[in-house]
């Protein structure tokens, strides 16, 4: 699946819920299904700066695709990173770098986050793209 296909699926899933309470619960459930990061990567080097909560992200390259794992100490934040990892994991670095994230606005996520969580969301996207840039550089 392309990044755009995954984003479309997420938009469709969020549109099934009539209110944000249900959408938050769905995000929490997504966070619970997030493949856990290896505890050895839950270090300062893997923390995303700019998040109110602690969010750890690790990336590996496999068959020219970036694979992400993550964890967070907050349930909503864990749901947010789960959505982002679902979109960006198992994708080619160039696709991650070039991907737009308009789907976040389309599902209404950013407008329903506190300013500090919204800043954390931006930091998460930036960090995932930085990993992709690093791997793309290795491929060139």
In this predicted structure, what is the pLDDT of residue 37?
92
pLDDT value for 110: 85
Q: pLDDT tens digits, residue range 91-127?
A: 999 999 999 999 999 999 988 888 888 899 999 999 9
Active site (annotated) includes residue 51? yes
Q: For domain 3-139, is the CATH number 3.90.1010.10?
A: yes
Catalytic residue among 3, 6, 37, 51: 51
* Vertex 135 angle, CA 40 and 129, to 5°: 85
- Main-chain dihedrals φ then ψ at residue 19, nearest 5 degrees: -140, 165
Q: Residue 42: helix, strand or coil by DSSP?
A: coil
Q: Of 137, 139, 138, 135, which is closest to residue 58 (Cα–Cα)?
A: 135
Q: Where are the beta strands (DSSP E) in 1-140?
A: 55-62, 65-72
Per-residue pLDDT tens for 12-68? 999 999 999 999 999 999 999 888 899 999 999 999 988 889 999 999 999 999 999
């Amino acid at each position: 699946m392309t990044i755009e296909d995954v984003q479309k699926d997420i938009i469709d899933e969020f549109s099934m819920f009539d209110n944000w309470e249900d959408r938050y619960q769905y995000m929490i459930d997504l966070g619970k299904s997030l493949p856990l990061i290896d505890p050895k990567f839950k270090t300062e080097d893997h923390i995303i700066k700019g998040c109110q909560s602690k969010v750890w992200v690790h990336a590996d390259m496999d068959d020219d695709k970036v694979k992400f794992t993550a964890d967070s100490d907050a349930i909503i934040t864990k749901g947010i990173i789960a959505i982002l990892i679902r979109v960006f994991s198992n994708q080619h670095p160039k696709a991650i770098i070039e991907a737009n994230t308009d789907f976040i606005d389309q599902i209404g996520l950013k407008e329903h986050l506190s300013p500090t969580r919204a800043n954390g969301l931006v930091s998460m996207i930036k960090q995932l793209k930085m990993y992709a840039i690093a791997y793309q550089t290795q491929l060139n």
